[in-house]
Structure 1
Amino acid sequence: MAQPLTDDVVAVRPRRASDLPAIEAASHDPETLRWLDDTPMDAADRGTSLARTEEAWRTGRAAPLVVADATTDEPVGIINLQFRDDAVATVAYSVFPAHRGRGIAPRAVRLLAGWALGELRLTQLLLEAAEANTASVRVAEKCGFERVGSRVETRAEGPHTLLVFACTKV
C-alpha cells in the first residue's frame, strides 16, 4: 500500500510503532474479547507485533492495517485482510471502544474493499460476523456484503454461530 486509503474522515494505513499502545489497550476491552478469539496483547506480543505485521505483508498471508482519524492520524481501530488465495480474502476489523458508534467501521471496510477489489484485483471478499453481533452484521450489510451462509464454532462458552457475507464489487 503506497498511500493511505482515505475518505477524509478515516484513513486506512499500515501499522506503526506509535499505534501499538492503542491496539494493546483495545485488545483488553471486554466487548472486543466477546467477539474476537484473539488473546489480549501483552508486553511480549507488543514487542514482536511490528515484526509479525511485516512478515504477514512480506509473505502475502495478510495485510494488517490500522484505521486512523483522517485529520489527527490517531488510531481508532484495526482492519485486516487475510488472503485465502490469489482471488479471495477475508476482512476483519475492530473499532476501539472510545470511537464506536460513529460509522468508522463501514467507512474503513468500504475503503479496504475498494482497494482489495480494485487495485489488488481480488474477486471476492468474505466477512464473518457473529450472529449476535448486530453492529458487525449491520456493517456487512451497509457495505454491500451479501449473506452467503453460516457456520457454528465451538467456544469455551458454547456454540457460536457466525454469519458469512461476501462482496464481489464495490
Structure 2
Amino acid sequence: MVRTRPIEPPATPLTDGTVALRPRRESDIEAIAAASHDPEIRRWLDDEPMDVQARHGWLARGEEMWRSGKAAPLVIADAVTDEPVGSINLQFRSDAMATVAYGVFPQCRGRGIAPRAVRLLARWALFELRLERVILEADEGNAASIRVAEKRRFHRVGTRTEPAGDGGQRVLVVFALPESAEG
C-alpha cells in the first residue's frame, strides 16, 4: 500500500553541525542541475540529467512530492554556509516504510557527507515520521554507497534485480534499518 498522506517538511533543518538537510530552494537549482550531469552520479542513477525544462519544474515537483506523500526531497547543505553539497530523498513505499536515495556533489565527496545525511534522514524518518523501516539500496558495484549503509548500521537483507538504463539488468544490495536501530 503506497502512502497517500501529505508529509510536512521538518520545521527547521535537520543538522548535526556539519551538514543540514532542508527543503529545496530556487537558489539550489543550478548546483543540482550541474550535479545531474556528473558521470559518477549518472553511473548509478537512471534519471536523465536536468535540462532547461526540468529546471523550471524542479521546485514544483518537489512540493508535489511532499503534498502527495510520495517522497520527501531535501537538499544536503553545509551547516555553516548553507551552500548545497548534495541531495537526499525519502521515497515512501507505504505508511510504514521508505527508501533513502542520495547524491553528493563531486567536489564534496570524501568528507563523510553521505553517512551524516543518511543518519539525519533515517532518524527523522523513524522517530519523527514513525516509520517502521528505512531501506537503502545500492548497486552491487557501488562500494561507496555500500560503505555508507554499513557505517550507518543498516543491515543487509538481500539483493534484488532490476532493469538497468542500458537495457540490461543490475543487482541491488538491499539494506534495512528497523525502528529500534540507531542510524
Q: TM-score, normalised by structure 1?
A: 0.98
> Does residue 132 of structure 1 match 2:128?
no
> In structure 2, what is the Cα distance between the partners aligned to 1:19 and 1:81?
18
Q: Which amino acid in structure 2 is aligned with residue 135 of structure 1?
A: A
2:140 is aligned with what amino acid? Answer: E
User: C-alpha displacement at 1:13, in angstroms?
Assistant: 0.5
Instruction: Give the % identical residues.
Output: 66
Matched, 1:41 2:50: yes
RMSD: 0.8
2:91 corresponds to 1:57: no
- Note the residue ranges of structure 1 that are not aligned, 5 or more in a row: none
- Work out the CA distance in 2 between the residues paired with 1:51 and 1:41: 14
- Residue 166 in structure 1 maps to residue 176 in structure 2: yes
Aligned length: 170
- Give per-residue Cα distances to partners, 1:33-79, cap 9 Å, x unaligned: 00011110010000000000000001111000000000000000000
**Aligned partner letter, 1:127:** L
Is 1:96 paired with 2:105? yes
Greater alpha carbon shift after TM alignment, 79-88 vs 155-164: 155-164
Which letter maps to 1:13?
R
Q: Which amino acid aligns with 1:163?
A: V
Distance 2:163 2:71 in 1: 25
TM-score normalised by L of structure 2: 0.91
Instruction: Kindly report structure 1 stretches of 4+ aligned residues shifted beyond 3 Å.
Output: none
Q: In 2, Cα distance between the equivalents of 1:117 and 1:48? A: 30
Query: Which of residues 122, 138, 163 is equivalent to 2:131?
Result: 122
Residue in structure 2 matched with residue 68 of structure 1 by the alignment:
77
| Structure 2 unaligned blocks of 5 or more | 1-9
